[in-house]
Amino acid sequence: MSGKIPRFLAACRSQKVDATPVWFMRQAGRYMAEYRELRKKHSILDLAKTPELACEVTLQPMRRLNVDAAILFADILLIVEPMGQKLAFAPGPSISNPIRDEKDVARLNEDAAEDLSFVYEAIKLIRRELDPSKALIGFAGAPFTVASYMVEGGPSDHYAHVKKLMLDRPDLWDKLLRKVRYATAEYLKAQVAAGAQAVQLFDSWIGALTPEQFRRHVRPHTAWVLSEVKKTGVPVISFGTGTSGFLEDFAAAGGDVIGVDWRVDLDAARKRLGKRAVQGNLDPLLLFSDRKVLKAAVKDILRRNGGRKGHIFNLGHGILPTTPVDNVRAVADWVHELS
């Protein structure tokens, strides 16, 4: 491709940009009427498994918001099906055969990425439709977050089963995480081969761990995925929530860009992360506030970044289902105007 690279990709590389790039985690979804319309006819799994529909849902926010990147429409839990688990969304995710013992782990198929070709087909379609100034982000769940669903069987308050497995059976935990990390790395590499120009690893529940649990039981596996994916040459974003108590350790696992939530000031995060590019970190609840409050919060984040290279504006976690679309659009415009 000739000409300028998308500003999102330049920022991932800490290169100079004409304006701060912005996109929103969970930018495709229920807060948009056009998504809800499609969901009347199709389940979330149908949307994700039909490349034309996944392409359409990926592009919906691109038509409404002036964002710099599209994120593939899929889900971090798609990988558990070809690994051998039974997944449903009702509407929250639920897995009817959670992993609890040796034989459950032994049965898991680590060559799961081969069976996710609908994702790679969707990426090819999206790339064809997307404006060349916008980047396409692929993604997967990070080993801990995916394993937490695999073991708990769904969302969890205290991560009781997964922590018990990790702490009481570190040998079995290691076997499980090795399978998850292999499948995840192969999945992300295949997304890049299909046309994803950057990838994000979502460690949404990593903040449930103590820093020592993270370092000992999770970081080596996350680091392995990040180093495998680095070989593809595309930028990698490592995102976690609740990481402010161990941000340096989290970043030590790797990633070109570190995603931070709203529980840490962006200037403090930047100081702790040194030269690393950062992504974040507006509190998603601010999108429900009045325009004046919201704009001040956007300005504050840009001020804390202080014009440094390597900032991608985003939320600290995903857009909530009842978020007003106009506020999301306004944030994207303000980020470009004010930076």
Q: Which residues are known to be catalytic?
A: 26, 30, 39, 75, 149
Contacts of 15 by beta carbon, 8 Å cutoff, 6+ apart: 309
Question: Among candidates 56, 69, 60, 72, which has minimal Cα distance to 33?
Answer: 60
| Nearest to ligand CP3 of 78, 185 (CB atom) | 78
Identity of the residue, 99 or 172, whose beta carbon is nearer to ligand CP3 in the bound complex: 99
- Rounded to a whole number of angstroms, the minimum distance from the CB of residue 83 to ligand CP3 is 15
The reply to whether 84 sits near ligand CP3 by the rule CB under 6 A is no
What token pair was written down for 152? 């708990």
Distance from C-alpha of 125 to C-alpha of 67, rounded to nearest angstrom: 19
Q: Does position 293 bind ligand CP3 by CB under 6 A?
A: no
What is the spatial distance between Cα 13 and Cα 59, in angstroms, rounded to a whole number? 25
Name the pairing type of β-strands 135-141 and 198-203.
parallel
Q: What are phi and psi of 194, to 5 degrees?
A: -80, -15
Closer to ligand CP3 by Cβ: residue 14 or 148:
148
Residue with the shortest CB distance to ligand CP3 = 204
Beta strands in the chain (DSSP E): 69-71, 87-89, 93-95, 135-141, 198-203, 236-240, 257-259, 277-282, 311-315
Closest to ligand CP3 by CB, 71 or 95: 71
Give the binding range for ligand CP3 (CB under 6 A) out of 69-77, 156-164, 256-264, 326-334: 69-77
**Which C-beta is closer to ligand CP3: that of 323 or that of 339?**
323
Work out whether 76 is an interface residue with ligand CP3 (CB under 6 A). yes
Please say whether the beta carbons of 286 and 327 come within 8 A.
no
Distance in Å, CB of 208 to ligand CP3, minimum: 12
* Residue closer to ligand CP3, measured from CB, 21 or 29: 29
Q: Does 93 bind ligand CP3 (CB under 6 A)?
A: yes
- Total residues interacting with ligand CP3, rule: CB under 6 A: 23
Out of 204, 222, 314, 323, name the contact with ligand CP3 by CB under 6 A: 204
Minimum separation from the CB atom of position 309 to ligand CP3 (A):
25
**Residue 176 DSSP SS3:** helix
**Is residue 91 a contact point for ligand CP3 (CB under 6 A)?**
yes
Q: How far is the CB of 71 from ligand CP3 (least distance, A)?
A: 5
**For residues 154 and 36, what is the distance between their CA atoms, to the nearest angstrom?**
23
Among 73, 144, 224, 250, the residue binding ligand CP3 under the rule CB under 6 A is 73
Pairwise CA distance, residues 261 & 318, whole Å: 10
Find, among 252, 249, 250, 225, the residue nearest to 236 by Cα.
225
Q: Is the peptide bond before 98 cis (omega within 30 degrees of 0)?
A: no
Question: Contact between 42 and ligand CP3 (CB under 6 A)?
Answer: no
Binding of ligand CP3 by 51 (CB under 6 A): no
Distances (CA, A) of 76 to 167, 187, 271, 302, 305: 24, 11, 30, 30, 30
Select from 6, 21, 29, 310 the one that contacts ligand CP3 (CB under 6 A). 29
List residues binding ligand CP3 (CB under 6 A).
Answer: 25-30, 39, 44, 71, 73, 75-77, 89, 91-93, 139, 155, 202, 204, 317-318
